[in-house]
Chains A and B, each alone.
Chain A
Amino acid sequence: GDSVTQMEGPVTLSEEAFLTINCTYTATGYPSLFWYVQYPGEGLQLLLKATKADDKGSNKGFEATYRKETTSFHLEKGSVQVSDSAVYFCALSGVSGGSNYKLTFGKGTLLTVNP
């Protein structure tokens, strides 16, 4: 079945540092790929997405490129801020059993950014 493996962390960075969170996946077909973010005490928000190979998703300074040849969707940001402290989830969407359009999530990466 589908699976997502992401860097588990926790990751601790200083403000303005470069961020990479690795994500690789296993899936049949051509899934869409997502990064969701969960700020402390809140629900999940979509951060960015990519629907086909070589697409780059971007939002709020974060970027990720859908690499089919390496089955990867690594999250990057050039200069993190304290407000980026959160848990980040990589996910893919696929169809299970012909009708279940579910998301398969990685285990999440806790990012803490210190001033």
Chain B
Amino acid sequence: EAQVTQNPRYLITVTGKKLTVTCSQNMNHEYMSWYRQDPGLGLRQIYYSMNVEVTDKGDVPEGYKVSRKEKRNFPLILESPSPNQTSLYFCASHPAGGMSYEQYFGPGTRLTVT
């Protein structure tokens, strides 16, 4: 089954404790992105990657890091989480080319930073 998976689905942590949210897709997509969803703000892009070893900032990159060492994986790293990073996070992927640039989303990771 074609899918994007994320782990963990739920995470409660404390300020300053480094964490990683994993994302993996099995569709051989070149592009991957991370979004955060906050009430009243919709979804905003954090980082994106065009292919292995190629990443760049989205609209709200502060406080986050990413890496793309393998095509299928795109982890999101919070080196020193703060309460304002409490949010619902989605990973997404899509193939290069095509007409619509439709993106495929993972199930989400709900992060709480206390």
- A residues touching B (Cβ–Cβ < 8 Å)? 4, 8, 32, 34, 36, 42-46, 49, 51, 89, 91, 93, 97, 99-103, 105-108
Contact = CB atoms under 8 A, between A and B. Distances in A.
Given A43-B106, A44-B105, A105-B44, 10 more contacts: A34-B102, A36-B105, A42-B107, A42-B108, A100-B48, A100-B56, A101-B94, A102-B48, A103-B43, A103-B92
Contacts of B45: 100, 102-103
A97 B56 CA distance: 10
Interface string B45-62: 100101000001010000
A46 B44 CA distance: 17
Interface of B: 31, 33, 35, 40-45, 48, 50, 56, 58, 90, 92, 94, 99-108
B42 A43 contact: no
B59 to A, nearest CB: 8
**A-side binding surface: helix, strand, loop or mixed?**
strand
B56 A93 contact: no
Contact of A103 (B103, B106, B108): B103
A43 B5 CA distance: 11
A93 B100 contact: yes
A72 B100 CA distance: 17
Contacts of A107: 40-42
A51 B100 CA distance: 6
